[in-house]
Chains A and B, each alone.
Chain A
């Protein structure tokens, strides 16, 4: 192909040879790691569980990095521009309590029962019906997520570098396919830890230099207030306050209230994602022992609390500082469908999701720009590798091994895992083309979460904490939860006025609808599970040992120094989390 065809006519920045060297070095290094580790991925335990020998730090950083896709970086920087500091809720109350809950309450069950996957736990706890339902829905969601990630990355490449969107998709996804297929989960984890460092190295300069330019946090708030007032935006002060505007749906740019944030996001969606989404849970299942498995999510939580510094703050800085380079007037970003339409491109409009690359181009010269672009590519790859390796595991153990070939040997499972990696990438590429017309990347993902993740959390948590929950209860509860979520989504799509029933307010916007839909479908899942369980026969206690709280002997840590105990560090993270809420109230 002629390289000239890969470039569009207008680009945000032009890479220098130095930048290209940095990007090329990154690609070579991740491939080298995959090649180096290929000899350590010969058994099922090695390929799918990284030998279950990761330390708390490696598992914890990979746990977080698998979630730090380019979707996360760009999408939430864009949402910070769109909704203000309210977007930080997805990093704090929408993550930290759930990560601590996973570490201190749920990890012992996952670790002690030695499951290969979350659907695998459901098989042990409820039976094959729930396993099949959750594994198929997970596989479906995973490839969609992977495609969304891929699309997000390709947009960056097009906006920033002018690279053809199709070229970006294929080059990056093939690289991920090679290193994951070669080294399995171990290779994915190693690269995720590397990518974690590169993301911080490449993205940290933006908030540092941005705050210098804006005159610190107070200067930033003042500039945002001035700019939004100039643009006649209602209640501009709400863009810099985390909780004080959540008393009513109409008081904040997100159109949500505190009930949706606390219960929909904090108690259901984030609990569902961080404790049952196998994409992230698989990383901590690879920990070498129970203490490491409990510490890993706590380490992840500590760093998760800092991520708003490189994601939310750049979005806020964009609100305060971005100006049209030609006219000097305020630059107003717009929704993606408008920016990427023919008319939008002719006017040089930029979408919300482009705020991070715009800030990158603002401060980064040759070399730094290459590292910043590498950070975004690394984010994409870590997210995609997470999706693909989780998909390969669930497909191999919970669909192929459980339904298609129940007597599959370990060798054939590894072979199937490698093929699944390649097939998962191929399906993801197809998905990327499907989501190209989505209005907002993150809103779409939130809708997906509420379809599958929220009901799954209801099923898993009841299974772990209530020994009376029966196989029939688990299956029908999960099915009712997923069905009701899809039903509510379709209802609002067909009749937008239905939002006043689903989200309790006609003023509720997309994010609020997702929160409340998740809350309702979780409640429906729990109620159906309880009711069906009470009228069906439970499993005998002997079959529930190591799977249910009342029947699992959990090792205590009396002989370990306080500073080495997960509960101590969990408490430290919780206190810092509370302090942050008060500071930005």
Chain B
């Protein structure tokens, strides 16, 4: 739904999730390659939540951004 302009609210949400997901995924990969010292690691660090959660957000954001992109919306 557009409700007020040519850009859909869902497109904004997609962009937000995509950007945040990519940043978090990249930060997670960096921590995977260069782990912080044990005394500064968060609890359950071994599960590398940043990597998989960042990937989930990025994929969801990519889908929303593509599905509701201005170029695909009926005018």
Q: Which residues of A are in contact with B by a Cβ distance under 8 Å?
A: 16, 18, 21-22, 25-26, 29, 33, 36-37, 39-40, 46, 50-51, 53-55, 57-58, 186, 190, 193-194, 197-198, 201, 205, 209, 212-213, 361-368, 370-371, 374
List A contacts of B17 (CB < 8 A).
197, 201
A194 touches B3 (CB 8 A): no
CA distance A215 to B69 in the complex (A): 42
A58 touches B3 (CB 8 A): yes
Q: Which residues of B are in contact with A by a Cβ distance under 8 Å?
A: 1, 3-5, 7, 9, 12-13, 15-17, 19-20, 23-24, 26-28, 31, 36, 41-45, 47, 49-50, 53-54, 57
A365 touches B42 (CB 8 A): yes
A363 touches B43 (CB 8 A): yes
Closest 3 CB pairs of A and B: A367-B27, A367-B24, A40-B4
List B contacts of A25 (CB < 8 A).
16, 19-20, 23
CA distance A197 to B28 in the complex (A): 21
Known contacts A40-B5, A58-B9, A368-B50; A197/B16 CB under 8 A: yes
Q: Which residue of A lies closest to B14 (CB)?
A: A197
Q: Which residue of B lies closest to A14 (CB)?
A: B40
Say what secondary structure dominates the interface of chain A.
Answer: helix
CA distance A363 to B54 in the complex (A): 14
Beyond known contacts A193-B9, A197-B13, A363-B44: 9 more, CB 8 A cutoff: A22-B23, A26-B16, A50-B3, A194-B13, A213-B43, A213-B44, A363-B42, A367-B24, A367-B50
Known contacts A201-B57, A367-B24; A33/B12 CB under 8 A: yes
Q: Smallest distance from the beta carbon of A175 to chain B beta carbons, Å?
A: 16
Known contacts A29-B16, A50-B4; A205/B53 CB under 8 A: yes
Q: Smallest distance from the beta carbon of B9 to chain A beta carbons, Å?
A: 5
Known contacts A201-B17, A212-B44; A368/B24 CB under 8 A: yes
List A contacts of B24 (CB < 8 A).
18, 22, 367-368, 371
CA distance A209 to B4 in the complex (A): 39
Q: Smallest distance from the beta carbon of B59 to chain A beta carbons, Å?
A: 12
List B contacts of A363 (CB < 8 A).
42-44, 49
Known contacts A18-B27, A365-B50, A371-B24; A37/B43 CB under 8 A: no
B53 touches A36 (CB 8 A): no
With beta carbons under 8 angstroms apart, the residue of A21, A39, A190, A213 that contacts B9 is A190
List B contacts of A365 (CB < 8 A).
27-28, 31, 36, 41-42, 45, 49-50
Q: Smallest distance from the beta carbon of A121 to chain B beta carbons, Å?
A: 24
B42 touches A367 (CB 8 A): no
With beta carbons under 8 angstroms apart, the residue of A16, A21, A37, A205 that contacts B5 is A37
CA distance A25 to B7 in the complex (A): 19
List A contacts of B4 (CB < 8 A).
37, 40, 46, 50-51, 53, 186, 190
CA distance A470 to B7 in the complex (A): 47
With beta carbons under 8 angstroms apart, the residue of B16, B23, B43 that contacts A18 is B23
A193 touches B13 (CB 8 A): yes
Q: Smallest distance from the beta carbon of A385 to chain B beta carbons, Å?
A: 14
B1 touches A58 (CB 8 A): yes
List B contacts of A374 (CB < 8 A).
20
Q: Smallest distance from the beta carbon of B60 to chain A beta carbons, Å?
A: 9
A198 touches B31 (CB 8 A): no
CA distance A36 to B9 in the complex (A): 11
Known contacts A21-B23, A367-B28; A190/B12 CB under 8 A: yes
- 10 pairs, CB–CB < 8 Å, chain A vs chain B: A22-B23, A29-B15, A33-B12, A190-B4, A193-B13, A194-B12, A365-B36, A365-B49, A367-B54, A368-B50
CA distance A172 to B4 in the complex (A): 25
Q: Smallest distance from the beta carbon of A26 to chain B beta carbons, Å?
A: 8
With beta carbons under 8 angstroms apart, the residue of A29, A213, A362, A368 that contacts B53 is A368
